[in-house]
């Protein structure tokens, strides 16, 4: 057991909470190491994609539109209807299994490298804070100083920048929901007509501001359910940001004229703690607060470079490998999750490939079972419900595949408008002399242009022929 584990009661309190239960405001240092640079490049791509997303079109259609107000969804330029809800459910389940699988193998790397909360906080808001208020020591001093001219200017600038970006994020989210053209029309339209949009934007901007300026790491530690769940997903074989205590302990500062050979490689400089955005000491072991941002790896590598020791005292590794040199192992849990994941992906792909752009369902109209139009002619009334999930109007027609049955459309336009759901009424008529059963199965073929899209069946009810 490491020195730290004997002395620290780190599992009993959070790194950013003091003895009285109050919050310790964190001022993490920024270390621009190798991993930080990679994260920066990834975040540029991510941010460019996020802000450009509402403007990206595929064949004139939005790349992504999640209009929950009008139940209109477009994903990768393809319209999805509430009838496609099972795709969303399957996509959610697949994403959850993927994240779980990812966590079992790679720990919480999603949090540090992909999650929008961390990307925005560390790569946007934290950087702006450093530009305006200076490094972590200068920020600490600014916090402690009374409200003088310098503090008012710096805090004022920070508020304007933070709120401005929060407003931009809120606008982008709304553009994903209603489309940027719609949003622009609302922004430039008369305020008396569009004030609900403005109020909504202000509310969401304020929420984002509070999250990124005030709540910060508490989202990852206390609010996010994924963070709370990671304890049950990780095992000693998971790859996590870990301190190599075998190599690092016993830790100790380098002192002049003191023999170092009894010490491990950790010089107890505390830099890995200073850079941690959740305020923990990774040398205590894997902790709930760790979002795997890898800042402590960069920090420790920079120290190792200075003291001419190999990098990687803090690294991404499994606890088993650090302690027992076991290497990476495919555990039964990883295999089970992987198989489940492949099955889900297979099901999702099959459903996606076989998904039709046009849906049609024939239903008997409620009410009277049949009409005796004349002593020799019987008719039944039906509804056809159709959904056109494409962005083009479609000409449709139906063909009754039953001898002597005749179809009559009540509404004769055979055009199904783009991206719309429609219901039409039609009749099937048959002369009494051809009816041999009181319940005849009638096949109906549904065509778009000349292409048969679907074969359906319905029932034709009638009194049994007596001749
Ligand atoms: S312990 Fe390291 S990886 Fe974990 S949150 Fe802190 S700095 Fe990031
Ligand atoms: S940065 Fe490295 S050397 Fe310094 S305290 Fe952390 S683990 Fe030890």
Complete DSSP assignment for 259-294? --TTS-S-----HHHHT-TT---GGG---TT-----
pLDDT band at 366, cuts 50/70/90?
confident
Closest ligand 2 atom, residue 273 Cα = 6
Å from CA of 325 to ligand 2 middle: 21
Low-confidence winner among 104-108, 250-254, 361-365 (lowest mean pLDDT): 104-108
Average pLDDT over residues 424-450: 91
Nearest Cα neighbor of 211 from 276, 119, 281, 295 is 119
Residue with tokens 């495919």: 330
Q: Which CATH number fits domain 358-461: 3.90.79.10, 2.60.40.10, 3.30.870.10, 1.10.10.10?
A: 2.60.40.10
pLDDT band at 199, cuts 50/70/90?
very high
Q: What percent of the chain has a predicted confidence (pLDDT) above 90?
A: 50
Low-confidence winner among 85-94, 368-377, 390-399 (lowest mean pLDDT): 85-94
Res. 188: pLDDT tops 60: yes
Q: What is the pLDDT of residues 127-153, one digit of tens each?
A: 999 999 999 999 999 999 999 999 999
Residue nearest to atom 2 of ligand 1 (CA): 296
Q: According to the model, what pLDDT value does residue 202 have?
A: 96
Q: According to the model, what pLDDT value does residue 6 have?
A: 43
Å from CA of 364 to ligand 1 middle: 63
Closest ligand 1 atom, residue 291 Cα = 5
Res. 265: pLDDT tops 90: yes
Low-confidence winner among 149-153, 186-190, 303-307, 388-392 (lowest mean pLDDT): 388-392
Nearest ligand atom owner, CA of 10? 1
Nearest ligand atom owner, CA of 293? 1
Give the binding-site residues of ligand 2, using a 6 Å CB cut-off: 243, 248, 266-272, 283, 299-300, 303, 313-314
Nearest Cα neighbor of 392 from 419, 413, 412, 414 is 419
Residue nearest to atom 4 of ligand 2 (CA): 269
Residue 17 is given by DSSP the state B
Three-state secondary structure string covering 19-72 = CCCCECCCCCCCCCCHHHHHHHHHHHHHHHHHHHHHHCEECCEECEEEECCCCE
The DSSP annotation for 71-117 comes to TEEEETTEEE-GGGHHHHHHHHHHHHHHHHHHHHHHTTHHHHHT-HH
Give the binding-site residues of ligand 1, using a 6 Å CB cut-off: 241, 275-278, 280, 282, 290-296
Å from CA of 282 to ligand 2 middle: 9
Closest ligand 2 atom, residue 267 Cα = 3
Q: According to the model, what pLDDT value does residue 412 have?
A: 61
Closest ligand 1 atom, residue 28 Cα = 7
CA dihedral 6, 8, 13, 16 (to 10 degrees): -160
Q: What is the pLDDT of residues 82-100, one digit of tens each?
A: 777 888 888 888 888 888 8
Query: Against a cut of 0.85, is the pTM above it?
Result: no
Q: According to the model, what pLDDT value does residue 428 have?
A: 94
Q: Sign of the CA dihedral 211, 212, 215, 220?
A: positive
pLDDT band at 10, cuts 50/70/90?
low
Q: According to the model, what pLDDT value does residue 1 have?
A: 36
For residue 396, give every residue at least 6 positions away whose Cβ sits within 8 Å of its Cβ, in sequence order, or none. 358, 360, 386, 414, 415, 416, 446, 447, 448
Residue nearest to atom 6 of ligand 2 (CA): 272
Q: Where are the domains of the chain?
A: 358-461
Average pLDDT, the chain: 88
Res. 402: pLDDT tops 80: yes
């Amino acid at each position: 057991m490491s020195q730290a584990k004997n002395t620290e009661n780190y599992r009993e309190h959070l790194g950013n909470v003091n003895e009285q239960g109050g919050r310790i405001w964190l001022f993490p240092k920024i270390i621009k190491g190798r991993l930080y640079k990679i994260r920066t490049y990834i975040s540029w791509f991510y941010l460019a994609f996020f802000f450009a997303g509402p403007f990206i079109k595929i064949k004139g259609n939005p790349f992504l539109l999640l209009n929950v107000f009008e139940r209109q969804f477009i994903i990768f330029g393809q319209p999805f209807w509430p009838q496609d809800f099972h795709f969303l459910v399957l996509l959610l389940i697949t994403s959850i299994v993927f994240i779980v699988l990812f966590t079992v193998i790679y720990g919480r790397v999603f949090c540090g490298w992909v999650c929008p909360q961390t990307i925005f906080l560390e790569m946007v808001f934290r950087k702006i804070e450093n530009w305006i208020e200076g490094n972590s020591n200068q920020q600490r001093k600014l916090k402690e100083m009374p409200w003088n001219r310098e503090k008012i200017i710096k805090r004022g600038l920070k508020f304007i920048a933070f709120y401005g970006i929060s407003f931009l994020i809120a606008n982008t989210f709304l553009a994903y929901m209603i489309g940027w053209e719609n949003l622009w029309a609302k922004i430039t339209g008369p305020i008396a007509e569009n004030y609900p949009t403005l109020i909504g934007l202000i509310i969401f901007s304020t929420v984002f501001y509070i999250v990124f300026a005030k709540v910060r790491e508490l989202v990852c530690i206390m609010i996010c359910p994924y963070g709370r769940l990671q304890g049950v997903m990780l095992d000693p074989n998971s790859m996590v940001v870990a301190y190599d205590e075998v190599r690092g302990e016993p830790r100790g500062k380098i002192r002049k004229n003191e023999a170092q050979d009894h010490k491990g490689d950790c010089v107890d400089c505390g830099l890995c703690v200073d850079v941690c955005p959740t305020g923990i000491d990774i040398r205590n072991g894997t902790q709930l607060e760790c979002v795997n941002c890898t800042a402590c790896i960069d920090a420790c590598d920079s120290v190792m470079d200075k003291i001419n020791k190999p990098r990687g005292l803090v690294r991404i590794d499994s606890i088993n490998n650090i302690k027992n040199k076991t290497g990476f192992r495919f555990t039964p849990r990883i295999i089970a999750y992987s198989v489940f994941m492949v099955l889900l992906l297979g099901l999702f792909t099959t459903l996606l490939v076989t998904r039709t752009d046009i849906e049609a369902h024939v239903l008997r109209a409620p009410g009277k079972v049949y009409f005796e139009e004349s002593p020799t002619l019987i008719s039944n009334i039906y509804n056809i419900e159709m959904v056109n999930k494409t962005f083009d109007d479609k000409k449709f027609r139906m063909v009754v595949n039953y001898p002597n049955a005749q179809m009559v459309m009540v509404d004769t336009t055979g055009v199904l408008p783009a991206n719309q759901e429609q219901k039409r009424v039609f009749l099937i008529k048959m002369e009494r002399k051809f009816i041999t059963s009181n319940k005849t199965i009638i096949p109906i073929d549904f065509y778009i242009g000349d292409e048969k899209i679907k074969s359906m069946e319905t029932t034709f009810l009638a009194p049994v022929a007596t001749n």
